[in-house]
Amino acid sequence: MSKPSRDHYIKLVEHDYFGNVMTEDLDAVVRCFTSDAEITIYHGDNPIRHFYANPVGTQQPMLEFWAHLCGNYDAHFGQFQHIVDEVHECCAAIFIVTLKPKPHSAYLATGTLTLNNCNYFWCKGGKIVRMTIYYANPTLGAKLGLASMGPTGFPKS
């Protein structure tokens, strides 16, 4: 069986995954993933978060992640740059996320956020089996009056 093409991965990431997150079609989002998929989220100095397609015990279900996102924000994903490794069935995408709080959102007072993201996707059979999300939220510190108190800083010379 041949491996999926570069174009397949770009379509999977931009259209099938992020496109369906933007339209809030969570059933279509879930179909992008294998039945044993895992998501890991890294955000600055915050604790690492994990979500699972088939959670066990106290593990959080993947659907919880998207339900929270789509329940609180109108999300837009754009300005994609893709790195694809067809041989090893993986890819990465660097992109910008805009999150506009919905009128009923607990985050409404914070206003619209612009995030810098880099997601890594490991695939199996043309679907995502593992996704790792790294994101920076450069606008939030200033909005909260904490710009000078950012997380881990650069060493001073």
Q: Percent helix, strand and coil across the chain, each rounded to 5?
A: 25, 40, 30
Q: What pLDDT score was predicted for residue 21?
A: 98
Q: What pLDDT score was predicted for residue 112?
A: 93
Phi, then psi, of 98 in degrees rounded to 5: -115, 125
What tokens were used for 29? 């989002």
Domain boundaries, the chain: 6-139
- β-pairing, 113-124 vs 33-43, is unpaired
Q: What pLDDT score was predicted for residue 144?
A: 64
Low-confidence ranges of the chain (pLDDT < 50): 150
Q: What is the DSSP secondary-structure string of 99-151?
A: EEE-TT-TTGGG--EEEEEEEEEEEETTEEEEEEEEEE-TTHHHHTT-GGG-S
Tracing tokens 């600055």 back to the chain, one arrives at: 44
pTM: 0.87
| CATH code 3.30.450.20 for 6-139 | no
- Using CA atoms, how far residue 113 sits from 2, 23, 50, 92, 140, in Å, is 41, 18, 22, 22, 7
Q: What pLDDT score was predicted for residue 156?
A: 53
Whole-angstrom distance between the N-terminal and C-terminal Cα of the chain? 55
Segment holding 60, helix H or strand E: strand 60-61
Q: What pLDDT score was predicted for residue 3?
A: 86
DSSP structure class, residue 25? -
